Chains A and B, each alone.
Chain A
């Protein structure tokens, strides 16, 4: 009898230790990545890094044009993506709960959420770059917007669903039309959660590389023309990290560190915002 009991205890101890080990592995990988980034990336930070454009190998330079390009394309992607995402999420949560169309849209949206981003790049290449005849920052921003929308649709719908029906009913009882109920009562109640979704979506597109490769392409020079190829941080990191030049690799590490810090900060901020909300998890 004792032997069975001991064996069960031993099995339990082994399995629980393994689960502890698994968690330790997950956390260790996170810290290893951050440590590598800090060790290799910090030496790249200098005044030139933030004030000069991408150099030829062997020359002094920085990533200024790439910062600008990434910022502009993320901004445009966000400005286009937010209204589309929020309105679609609103339709799912407020107008079409339980309808066939809503089920179909939700299903497809969840698929697009995880669809390979490089395929989105191919799509935008086909419909924009080929027609315009050249790569452009507009095409890059469009690809980012397509990746942005599903994230916001998902979070908006979830957050609106969490708003208690009593709030809507109270507003309707006062004679408010439905659009006023949604815009002035429901949105206001869910604003923190929706903001979290938008911030997470910005973090997602800020680091996207694959869809920009054949849309925005890249540019070694300073360019503010949205209708022309534009440098951007992820593609520069891709190009420089794979190069054999030590100074390019250093810049790639610096860019990688900066982009990771920005995205992790956005993620943490998004979670803090969510926790202030009354309906967030």
Chain B
């Protein structure tokens, strides 16, 4: 089907044949234009953000903006560090919480679950991914945060908070809103994505390998550890990176529960901010050109970070499917 179809069709007049060939050229060209449009779109996003970010970079210097923790709309002085810190930290908390659970779900669905229940349970987990992020935000703000404030957070402060060194992460008043809450909500949001990818790569492990291990007397846990996980390592990394990319760019859920404070605090219980939350909260209220430009610069930084993470994720997953196809 790569070569043009044979045009020597029976009983077709030359002008009709020409028309058909013209149809092919037009259709192919049309699809190609839109395909190239996808590339142009990505370039357009980067160029447009870079152009918008220029005034801020020019005023503060590229690294000056990147490494400054100032955020003062009144004095028109801005820096990206607290937002970058919050973005990375909340995403990392999310990954620490979500990855083990995603592994559990994937192991359950591929090794343990009765085949009849596989699809319904898999679908329910996927529905978790379909719920819009604003719903997670509302739920996190009005339901989860008050519960955390009176239960988990005082508990953490009273126990781990007193341990030297690590304790610094869990000190201060229980605000309810803050990095930890944001990380937990993010964890729930990226969980289905990671679980689905890991389940799918677990499925690609040849049955022969699994059965051989079982035949040698291995338990299910040993099969998973010694056969399934080593065989699907690349795909697992891809799935985790995909989840990380989602967590870094997630906006609404985080905006509700992070507390929106431009500080860097040692405690995970303290409020902070992320790039996306800063944009959602402040963009329409930015009064000066420097303010707007600084926010667009934040957007550019976020886009570049997620691009790199997602590119690595897709490269990993692509390598896996290429290997499978070979």
- Chain A, residue nearest B46 (CB): A123
CA–CA, A181 to B6, complex, Å?
12
CA–CA, A180 to B27, complex, Å?
10
CA–CA, A109 to B40, complex, Å?
11
Q: Is the CB of A123 within 8 A of B314?
A: no
Q: Is the CB of B222 within 8 A of A12?
A: yes
Known: A19-B104, A177-B20. A241 touches B256 (CB 8 A): yes
Q: Is the CB of B5 within 8 A of A111?
A: no
Contacts A/B (CB < 8 Å), 20 sampled: A12-B220, A12-B221, A19-B105, A22-B105, A27-B125, A36-B143, A88-B34, A101-B35, A107-B311, A109-B38, A114-B246, A122-B296, A177-B20, A179-B23, A179-B26, A183-B27, A210-B280, A241-B142, A252-B138, A259-B134
Which B positions have Cβ atoms within 8 angstroms of A? Answer: 1-2, 4-7, 9-10, 12, 20-21, 23-24, 26-28, 30-32, 34-39, 41-42, 44-45, 48-49, 51-52, 100-105, 107-109, 111-113, 121, 123-128, 130-139, 141-143, 188, 191-192, 195, 219-222, 224, 242, 245-246, 248-252, 255-256, 276, 279-280, 283-284, 296, 299, 302-303, 306-307, 310-311, 313-314, 318
Stretch at the interface among A44-52, A92-100, A219-227: A92-100
B240 to chain A, nearest CB (A): 13
Q: Is the CB of A177 within 8 A of B5?
A: yes
Q: Is the CB of A271 within 8 A of B123?
A: yes
Q: Is the CB of A116 within 8 A of B5?
A: no
Interface string of A136-175 (1 = CB under 8 A from B): 0000000000100110010000000000010011001111
Q: Among B104, B107, B307, which residue has the most Cβ atoms of chain A within 10 A?
A: B104
CA–CA, A33 to B139, complex, Å?
7
Q: Is the CB of B44 within 8 A of A123?
A: yes
CA–CA, A250 to B97, complex, Å?
31
CA–CA, A11 to B218, complex, Å?
12
CA–CA, A126 to B55, complex, Å?
14
A29 CB–B CB distance under 8 Å: yes
CA–CA, A151 to B314, complex, Å?
15
Known: A8-B219, A23-B108, A172-B5. A112 touches B38 (CB 8 A): yes
Known: A114-B242, A116-B276, A175-B12. A16 touches B221 (CB 8 A): yes
What residues on A are CB-neighbors of B276 within 8 Å? Answer: 116, 118, 210
- Chain B, residue nearest A271 (CB): B123
